[in-house]
Amino acid sequence: MAYTVPQLTDYSPAALEKAADESIAACQTESANVRSDADLKSFRDRWMARKNGILTQINDLWLKGAPKDAKREAGMRVNQLKARITELVESAHIAGGVDLLASERVDISLPGIRRPIGAEHPIIKTMHEIVGVFQRLGYSVAEGPVVETDYYNFEALNFPPNHPARDTQDTLFIAGQQSKPARERLLLRTHTSPVQIRTMEKMRPPIRIVIPGTVHRNDPPDASHSPMFHQIEGLAVDTNITFGDLKGTLDHAMKALFGSSVKTHFRPSFFPFTEPSAELYVTCFICGGSGKRDGNAPCRPCKQTGWIEVLGCGMVDPNVFEFVKDNGYDPKKVSGFAFGMGVDRLALLKYGVDDLQYFFQGDVRFLQQFG
Ligand code: PHE
């Protein structure tokens, strides 16, 4: 028979003691019968639950029901009993104590967890390769913020306010900037060129730097476009830097990147911050410049022209130097060249990937191939 709390009629010390002993004995017996976690829980609840647990019942029946002159004695006894039972319940454990310990035991014979080692993302890998080529030429690496002001992204690069050349950049602007002066308004940089100005503000000439980073343009994603992509900018400023230096440097870099047999070719172009400006083409490293694949099939990456456009470049426009003149960049004394290339497209061609979006979807099955 399970223990139930008796109603007391006799409140003499002897009767109280007997009742208390009975309840302690019942608690001990039940405690010895705990066999599982579930048993342990119901045992604890049965004795300790605030609402209608045995201790609560004892309190209600024995204490509140005691006649006035026995209240003191009953109070003392009940408190002692509560302490003892609490002790019993708290020290209760699953019989034999084996189950609890077994679940805590560490099996040192189990093999460890093998964590796969990550690898560089193909775009980052391509970036490191390109940066490495210029580092070996003595260039250092600079970086700048992705959220940029109109001043650095446009104005100081000789894009006057409202100039149509700004429209070619499909700029993503940060909202709620209308109350600021135009040049302080924030946007996502559309190219890495603002870091040219930021670096020239900090470092006096001569400088040779490359600037890797992410840029954003309002282009819907498709097989060859992404609103976020990567560029590497280059800038060299010194006395007597000529277009010949630009050609020699970039020709060397393209051979280091795509193999010594590639040829380079410059076509006139326009950028507000370089004058003259050019686009650099290399012979297609897929078809070797013939425009044809095996079996006379048309070469797609170069659109059968045999040439692939890799970057924009030019001689730093004197108007750009005017913005950093006070830091040693007097356009009458120094000259320089700059270039900027899109890394994603190069990685795409290099690895023969046919959709740019694969690079940004984070699918391990795709990325694993480059590990
Ligand atoms: N910033 C230009 C672009 O994103 C590229 C460029 C860089 C051109 C440096 C000339 C000099 O299109």
Interatomic CA distance for residues 161 and 345, integer angstroms: 30
Q: What is the pLDDT of residues 2-61, one digit of tens each?
A: 899 988 888 888 888 898 899 998 898 888 888 888 888 888 889 999 898 998 988 888
Which pLDDT score is estimated for 330? 98
Residue bearing tokens 């603002």: 194
Which residues of the chain are modeled with pLDDT < 50?
A: none
Residues 173 and 190: their CA atoms lie apart, in Å, by 10
Quick count: other Cβ atoms within 10 Å of Cβ 55?
22
Q: Return the pLDDT at 285.
A: 83
Write down the pLDDT at residue 96.
56
User: Ligand 1 mean position to 271 CA, how many Å?
Assistant: 7
Nearest atom within ligand 1 for CA of residue 231: 4
What are the backbone dihedrals phi and psi of residue 320, each rounded to the nearest 5 degrees, phi first?
Answer: -70, -45
* Rounded distance from Cα 339 to ligand 1 centre (Å): 6
In whole angstroms, what is the distance from residue 278 CA to residue 270 CA?
Answer: 7
Report the nearest-CA residue for atom 10 of ligand 1.
313
DSSP 8-state class, residue 96: G
Residue 253 burial class via C-beta count within 10 angstroms: exposed 0-12, middle 13-18, buried 19 and up: buried
Q: At what angle do helices 343-351 and 122-135 cross, to 10 degrees?
A: 110
Which residues, judged by CB distance below 6 Å to any ligand atom, belong to the binding site of ligand 1?
Answer: 191, 193, 233, 271, 274, 312-314, 338-340
| Ligand 1 center to 192 CA (angstroms) | 8
Q: Which atom from ligand 1 is nearest to the alpha carbon of 191?
A: 4
pTM to 2 decimal places: 0.70
Helix residue ranges, H only, the chain: 13-32, 37-48, 54-58, 71-91, 98-104, 122-135, 150-153, 194-202, 243-258, 318-322, 343-351, 364-367
Q: Report the pLDDT value the prediction gives residue 70, as an integer from 0 to 100.
A: 83
The Cα–Cα gap between 154 and 218 comes to: 16
What is the structure's pLDDT at 98? 52
Q: What is the mean pLDDT of the chain?
A: 91
How many angstroms is it from 74 CA to the middle of ligand 1? 92
CA of 227 to the centre of ligand 1 (A): 17
Closest protein CA for atom 6 of ligand 1: 340
Q: Which atom of ligand 1 is nearest to the CA of 340?
A: 7
Pocket test for ligand 1, best of 159, 192, 193, 195 (most atoms within 8 A of CB): 193
Cα 198 to ligand 1 centroid, rounded to whole Å: 15
Query: What is the number of the ligand 1 atom nearest to the C-alpha of 312?
Result: 8
Beta bridge partners of 264: 282
Name the nearest CA neighbour of 272 among 116, 182, 164, 165. Answer: 165
The residues pairing with 340 across neighbouring beta strands, listed in sequence order, are 233, 312
Six-digit token pair at 88?
């019993």
pLDDT of residue 195: 98
